[in-house]
Amino acid sequence: MRTVEPGNLTDGAPTQIVLAFEDNRFASVLFGQYGQNLALIERRLNVVADQRGNHVTIEGSRDAVEQARRVLEGLYEQLKRGNDLVSGDVEGAIRLAIAQGSLFDFDPTAAREGFEEINLRKRPVRARTAAQDSYIRALKRHALVFGTGPAGTGKTWLAVAHAVQLFERKEVDRIILSRPAVEAGERLGFLPGDLREKVDPYLRPVYDALYDLMDARIVERALQTNEIEIAPLAFMRGRTLSNAVVILDEAQNTTAMQMKMFLTRLGENSRMIVTGDPSQVDLPSGQISGLAEATRLLAGVDGIGHATFSAEDVIRHELVAKIVAAYDKASADKAAARKRENKE
């Protein structure tokens, strides 16, 4: 239920609306602990949100108020459908509302229908941004998918979610996780412990995603039976990987030869997902990133998907997006300065 108080409804003029949410329990979750979700909406959309019980008054420009309404009503419908609500969902809803603009009527019951979802036994995983939606669509459609962009955009997390879904549906027999250990120069012998213990520190983000998306006991059992396999990139040579989902994380730190070797491991009924941040290359100076070369050489090849993320797709703490944007700007400024110097 929504009531609109009198106001000037011309574009850019101050507008005020009052939203009332019937279920007090859902309203409490929607507004967030100590109103933190409303505070995020205020900051991101430049509105003022005043909560009274299960009512919230929103004031600001017409477009901003309309976007805030879309966000709150869309998230409320999500709660009514039995879905959980976390801060990333709020940020994703805000970005969707901004992207949609004010050019068409909004139906909260269908607010997220167009975004892809990955259904897991533990909980559903929904795309929160248009880039994530494109990524999930590519994962479902292609045998080989590249996901590139800055940290915090969900590349690895969604790759693991897709792998878990295929594993749970028994469409594949194994999940294989790999990552180049650049810091150790791919020479892991000096580290203590067995192979898994040597590589664990490098694959911690992937482990975190596994435990977040699967029951911990199932993960441990699958690791013991090798249904979930940890395979350092250096040890992949000579193998043919069949009936598996193979994830290569931090792929920007592969060399051109390593990437070619990895991609040619693709076997029958297997999927490969390659993720990386091209701006975070740790290879020695002058060495070409295998990820950059592969995405260039394989662009447009039928059966290969590529989803590109930007700072606008970062779904961690809102400051992370600002930090990524600041570093990107600094890199662009340096490149522009070098270009001017070369011209002179």
Architecture of the structural domain at 2-105: 2-Layer Sandwich (3.30)
pTM equals: 0.68
What's the token pair of residue 295?
Answer: 């995405």
Q: Which of the residues in the chain have pLDDT under 70?
A: 1-13, 87, 99-114, 181-202, 316-321, 344
Domain ranges of the chain: 2-105, 129-313
∠ CA 320-322-326, nearest 5°, is 115
CA quadruple 168, 169, 170, 175: dihedral positive or negative? negative
- Residues 211-270 have pLDDT tens digits of 889 999 999 999 999 999 888 787 788 788 899 999 999 999 999 999 999 999 998 999
Residues 6+ apart with CB under 8 A from 5: 16, 17, 18
Q: Do the domains spanning 2-105 and 129-313 agree at the CATH topology level?
A: no
The single-letter code of the amino acid at 179 is R
* Domain 129-313, CATH among 3.40.50.300, 3.30.70.370, 3.40.50.410, 3.30.420.10: 3.40.50.300
Residues paired with residue 52 on neighbouring β-strands, in sequence order? 55
pLDDT at residue 106, as a whole number = 46
